[in-house]
Structure formats: C-alpha cells, structure tokens
Chain A
Amino acid sequence: MFGRGETMKQFDVLLVDDEERFLETTSRLLARKGYTVSVASGGAEALEILESCSVKIAILDVRMPGIDGIQVLKMIKREYPLVEVMMLTGHVTVDAAVEGLKSGAGDYLMKPVDIDELTLKIDEALEKQALIRQKISLVQPHQH
C-alpha cells in the first residue's frame, strides 16, 4: 500500500566530502537550520545511501579519493535523475565547472563556502525540485 519511497528514510541534503570534520560541522549547521542531512565520506558510500534512502539534494566535493565528484555526479544523474546535484570545489577551473554543468549539476559552489550562501542554494534547489516533483505527480497521478 505504500510506495517504495515512503518506506525509506528521507533526507533534504546528502553531503559528500572526504573531510570528516567538514561533514560533521556542516551537517550540524544545516540541521540547526532545519534541514535533514545525511553525510558520506566518499563516492561509494554516497551511492549506498542513495540506494537505501530518499535524497533531494546531493552536495558533492569534486576532488575526492576513489570515485571523484564528477563520476558520482554522472552516476547519480543516471540512476536518480530527480536528485538535484551541487558541486563543491576548491578548484575554479572553468573546465570542471562546464563539465559538471554538462553532466547535469544544478549549481556550483566554491570552497570555502559561506553557510548562508549554502542554505540559499539549498532552498533554491529544493524549490526547483518541488516544482519538478509537482509536475511529475500531475502527469503520473497514480504513482501515489
């Protein structure tokens, strides 16, 4: 009687970065701001979470050991096209930005990112996603 998504844990934001302390502090900050946050310290872990949980927004560090941000982005877009992805990087290379955006990243953030700026972008993305989900539900009303 329940859709698959409703049985799963729901998160507004999935933070993916290889810096543990960044994950810890940023998730605490976002939680204080009222978002539900999950964290992953690498690409593989992130994909595991996406498998078992419902995630609205994924924030990916571009440079990570193992599967890097761009690869994770491509996988997410292939497997979970509805998930909004934001790239986070210390690099401002135009190439990476262009590739990220081409691969379906919704936005780009540069380290060190301001918490207010981050919440602003998250809100924008959530809004955008809500709109898309709404449109989808209109087209496919019986899915619920």
Chain B
Amino acid sequence: MKRILGDHRQMIDSFLEERKGDLAFILETVSYEELQDPEVLRHLLNRLQKTSPAFVDLGIFDTRGVHINYQGPYDLTGKIYKNETWFKAVMENGVYISDVFMGFRKIPHFVIAMVKHSPTHTWVIRATIDTLFFNSLVETISMGHTGEAYILNTKGLLQTKPRSGGDLMDPEPADHQLPVFHQGMKLSIKANAAGDDSLVATTWLKNKLWMLVVKQDKADAFRTLNTASLLIVLTTIIGILIIVLVSFYFTARIVQRLEKMDLEKEKLRFQLIHASGLAELGEMATGFAHEINNPLQIIKSEQALIQMNVVELVEKEGIKPSDTLGELDDSLNQIGLQIDRCATITQSILKFGRRNEPASQSLDLKQFIPEIIAIVDKRANLQNIDIQFNTNSRLDLITADPAQLQQVFLNLFNNAIDAVVEKHRPNGGWIQISATNTHKNGVEMTISDNGIGISPENLKKVFTPFFTTKPVGKGTGLGLSVCYGIIKSMGGEMTVFSTNDSGTVFKINLPSDKGNVWERGNDETI
C-alpha cells in the first residue's frame, strides 16, 4: 500500500512538474510579442497537446488580468481575471497550481499558471488541465474490491473522483476532518461509511496543497493475508489430523504386533519352562530310578529266598497245606508282582531320561509308518478300528533314529486305539495318519482319532512325566513325555490338539533330511 502511494505520488508530482516545465519552456522561448499572436498560441497548444493530451486550453494574461490571448474550446479572450484568486496568487508567487474549481466555464478544472518578467513586460501564461484526464491518472489505482485513491486539497475537498462515490469539489464523504500536513507517508485506520475499518495511507504532494489518499477496507486489504493465514491454519489442521491419524494407525499396528509378540513370547516361555522342566525332571527321575533299582534288587532276592524257604519248609518239614500257607504264598506272589511293577516304572524312567545320542539315519516315512501300523493292526482289527495312512509320493526323507521314532509312533497309535475303543466299542472308530511336506524343509505327521479326546485341563499336562488318566497300574504316565523328549532331541516339534469327547490330533514336525528335499508346491497325494 505504501509502495502504491509512493509510486503514485511520484507519478502525479512528475505530471505536474512536467506541465509546469512545458509552460516554463514556452515562457523562456517565446517572446511576449509573439504570444500576442493567436496563430502562435494555437500552434503552441497543439504542440502541448501532442506531448500531453491533458492540456485543454492555453491563455496569456497581462498584468491587469486581461485575457489577451486564448486558445481553446471556449471563447474567453478579453475576460478580466484581476480579482480571481489564482491570478493574485500567481502574481505573488510566480507559479500557481489551483485547486479544482468551476470558474467561468461551470465545469471542474484546475489551472497551472506562471509569470514571466522581461525588462519591458510582465505577463502570465495559464494552462487548463482536464480534470477527467487527471482523474483517470489517480483512479487507475485500484486494489482488491474496495481499494481506491483520490486527492484532497487543504480544505478537505475532493480533487479527483473516488471510486466509492462522491463528487469533485465536495468534501470527502467519510472523513470531514481537514487534512493536516505531515511529512512522508502516514498510515492510519479509520472507520468508513459502512462502519467497517479502513486502512488509509496519506501523503502530501510536493506542492503541499494536495494530499494523495489511498484507502482500502481493512478486510479487503488483509484478504490475501487472511486467505494466506487461513490456508496456513487449514494446512496445519489437516497436517495435524493426518499426523494424528497416521500415528494412531501405526500405534495400533505396533500395539497389535507387540501383543502378537507378547503372545509368542508367552508361548515360547511356556515351551521353555516345559522343556527345561522336563529335562530337569528327567534327570531327577533317572537318578531316582537308578537308586530305587538297587533296593528293589535286594527285595526281589529276599522275596525269592523266602519263597524258596517256604517251599523247603513244606517239602522237608512236612507242613500241611492250609489257609495260612495259601495266604503266605499269595502274599509272596503279590510282593513279586509289585516288585516287577516297580521295575517296569524304573525302566521306563531310565528310558525317558537316557542321554545317549540317537543312531540317526535317513528314513522314508512312506515305508516306515506302514511298518509300525502293521504292528498295531491286529489289535486295531480286533476292535474294528479303521486305520488309514495318507501321504504323497514326493514326501521328503527325514533324519531320525528308527528305534526311537518307532517308540513314538507305537505310543501314539496305542494311545489312539485306547481312546477310540473307549468311545466306539464295538465299532465306528478310526485313526488317520498323514505325512506331508511343510513349507519350511520339514515333514509334518498328524495322528488323528475320533476317540474320547482330552479335557482342556489334562491337555496341558499330557507331556508331563507321570501324568496319566489310566487306572492305577495300567500306565506309568511316561509314554508321551518320552515321545516329547525324543521328538525334541531330533530337532522336531510335537503338539497336541483335542476336543473333549470327539477326538485328538497329535502333530509331529521333523526336519527333512538335507539333500532329500523335494521342491514344494506340486505334491500329489497317493
């Protein structure tokens, strides 16, 4: 706004200077005598109008204010201006630029007048400047919707037409205060006619008679600024919104992953505890079993000795058979049986805890599993249990100790038969065994049955040593824990899924034998 004000002040100043210069040039180059000639004056006006179309007319006056020569659209020759303000002022100051006034012509105009003193004469030259033309010079200033510019004289009267309305020579519509002279430019905020704040910049022209006013509604002036601020605020809000949304999204994802990791960690921890617990328990049990075996051996020997002595007594001393003797015999037999039972348990424990390296070799499960099925087939057939084995022709070989793996499968098959028999006597039971390649260079075997299943609380304990649901004396509770230990020692995984009363699935994952891995993805089932 200041820039506009400054530029236009310069423009108007130089315009007025130029017009003064034009007149000064005429006064210097053309003599008083020559100026008496209407032809010369007409010629001069033409020349002036060529340089600036603002010139309307040109007149020469003598010291008495008589219009001695005039060229222009009006017939003003001979009129006397002696008492006109401008004439008095020009005679006094040498140069004069009038305010806009009506004069004799009854149309707004302003004049520039200059005095020339020569040794013989004193005369005045006066040019009228078209206010319309001058108007357009100022009016071209327009900014936004409400920006306008106009010129006020010292009395606060309009010298050009403002864009917002108001006529020439009228006081400024919004501001009736008399303009006060000031140096340079002045910016202020004033309420306009509508009551809104306006930004007003003022500066005085060089002649100190006219003040250039540039005015714009505050809202309008700051529109771009406001728009920019609005844009910045909007962008910021949208940015924040996006950041918040994105952070929410990522936070949610991270939380989700953390939860997943937590879950996996928990699972891993459980497995670790389970595994280390099993190992510790195995070690303890082995030591325990070994220590038990020695006293057991003695008890067994003692029992055999007692039995032998009883036989001797009967034979040599002639003791007759009696209830007492029968009971004694029965008791001794029972002791023998119980010792054997203890022996079975200790043997199982020792098997479970044994630390020897398995004799691993490449195994083809396609042949190996049917061989084991054949062992239990007779028992299954008796119970009308259907055993099926599914695999595919491109099954990987695995590395395993055949004896150990046989123990695992026999254990699982026998368990499955027991479970199925309990639920589907005399028929309707099935056991399905499958072996397939996994995506991660391994083989997965599943042993599913439609037996009684395992209750959720028991499911947690199936791999724990000595846990059994079988009646006392029927199971040691070591079978599955031994299986678990064997599979783990082969670098595999063993898991169990079960629904109470509808069946159980054991899954065993074993790594494939290196160098015997089929390409994945085109398995055909046989």
Name B's interface SS.
helix
**Does B322 touch A at the CB level, under 8 Å?**
no
Pick the contact of B301: A26, A93, A110 (CB < 8 A): A26
Q: B356–A25 contact, CB under 8 A?
A: no
CB distance from A60 to the nearest CB of B (A): 14
Pick the contact of A25: B293, B296, B301, B351 (CB < 8 A): B301
Q: A111–B294 contact, CB under 8 A?
A: yes
Known: A29-B305, A29-B308, A112-B339. A91 touches B350 (CB 8 A): yes
**Does B406 touch A at the CB level, under 8 Å?**
no
Pick the contact of B304: A93, A94, A115 (CB < 8 A): A115
Question: CA–CA, A22 to B299, complex, Å?
Answer: 9
Nearest-neighbor residue (CB-CB) of B309 within chain A? A32
Q: A32–B339 contact, CB under 8 A?
A: no
Question: CA–CA, A110 to B305, complex, Å?
Answer: 19
Nearest-neighbor residue (CB-CB) of B347 within chain A? A92
Instruction: Give chain B's interface residue range (CB within 8 Å of chain A).
Output: 20 to 34
**Does A28 touch B at the CB level, under 8 Å?**
yes
Known: A29-B305, A90-B293. A19 touches B298 (CB 8 A): yes
Nearest-neighbor residue (CB-CB) of A113 within chain B? B297
**Does A21 touch B at the CB level, under 8 Å?**
yes
Query: Interface size of A by Cβ–Cβ distance < 8 Å?
Result: 21
* Max chain A Cβ within 10 angstroms of own Cβ: one of B300, B354, B355: B300
Q: A29–B304 contact, CB under 8 A?
A: yes
A residues 71-130 touching B (CB-CB < 8 Å): 90-95, 110-115
Q: B290–A25 contact, CB under 8 A?
A: no
Which chain A residues border B350 with CB–CB below 8 Å? 90-92
Which chain A residues border B346 with CB–CB below 8 Å? 90
Known: A19-B294, A22-B298. A112 touches B343 (CB 8 A): yes
Question: CA–CA, A63 to B287, complex, Å?
Answer: 13
Nearest-neighbor residue (CB-CB) of B301 within chain A? A25
Nearest-neighbor residue (CB-CB) of A116 within chain B? B304
Nearest-neighbor residue (CB-CB) of B351 within chain A? A92
Question: CA–CA, A92 to B344, complex, Å?
Answer: 12
Which chain B residues border A21 with CB–CB below 8 Å? 298
CB distance from B283 to the nearest CB of A (A): 14
In the complex, the 3 A-B pairs of residues with the closest C-beta atoms, listed nearest first: A90-B293, A115-B304, A25-B301
